[in-house]
Amino acid sequence: MADAKRILLFGPQGSGKGTQGEKLSEWLKLPLIVTGNIFRHNIKEQTELGVLAKGYINKGELVPDAVTNRMIGERITQEDCAQGFILDGFPRNLVQADALDTYVKITDLMHISIPDDEAVRRIANRRTCVDQGHVYHLVYNPPKQEGICDEDGSALEQRKDDTEESLKKRLGIYHSETEPILDHYRPYGVIHDIDGIASIEEVWQTVQASLQ
Ligand code: AMP
What does pLDDT average to over the chain? 95
Instruction: Report pLDDT for 187.
Output: 97
- Percent pLDDT > 70 in the chain is 99
- Asked if residue 185 belongs to a domain, the reply is no
- Asked if residue 161 belongs to a domain, the reply is no
CA neighbours closer than 13 Å in the CB half-sphere of residue 29: 2
- Residues 170 and 77 sit within 8 Å (Cβ to Cβ): no
Instruction: Report pLDDT for 3.
Output: 83
Enter the pTM of the model.
0.93
Average pLDDT, integer, range 94-98? 98
Q: Is the CB of 10 inside a 6 Å radius of any atom of ligand 1?
A: no
pLDDT tens digits, 180-203: 999 999 999 999 999 999 999 999
CATH number at residue 59: 3.40.50.300
Domain that includes residue 84, residue range: 5-114+190-210
Q: Is the CB of 96 inside a 6 Å radius of any atom of ligand 1?
A: yes
- Asked if residue 162 belongs to a domain, the reply is no
Instruction: Report pLDDT for 1.
Output: 44
pLDDT tens digits, 117-127: 999 999 999 99
- Asked if residue 75 belongs to a domain, the reply is yes
Per the residue annotation, which of 6, 23, 92, 122 is the catalytic one? 92
- Asked if residue 110 belongs to a domain, the reply is yes
Average pLDDT, integer, range 136-157? 95
- Asked if residue 120 belongs to a domain, the reply is no
| pLDDT grade for 115, boundaries at 50, 70 and 90 | very high
Among this protein's residues, is 92 annotated catalytic? yes
- Asked if residue 156 belongs to a domain, the reply is no
Residue 170 has pLDDT above 80, yes or no: yes
pLDDT tens digits, 1-55: 448 999 999 999 999 999 999 999 999 999 999 999 999 999 999 999 999 999 9
Q: Is the CB of 90 inside a 6 Å radius of any atom of ligand 1?
A: yes
pLDDT tens digits, 81-91: 999 999 999 99
- Asked if residue 163 belongs to a domain, the reply is no
**What is the domain count for the chain?**
1
- Residues 206 and 94 sit within 8 Å (Cβ to Cβ): no
Residue nearest atom 19 in ligand 1 by C-alpha distance? 90
Q: Is 109 helix (H, G, I), strand (E, B) or coil?
A: strand
Exposed, middle or buried, 125 (CB in 10 Å: 0-12/13-18/19+)? middle
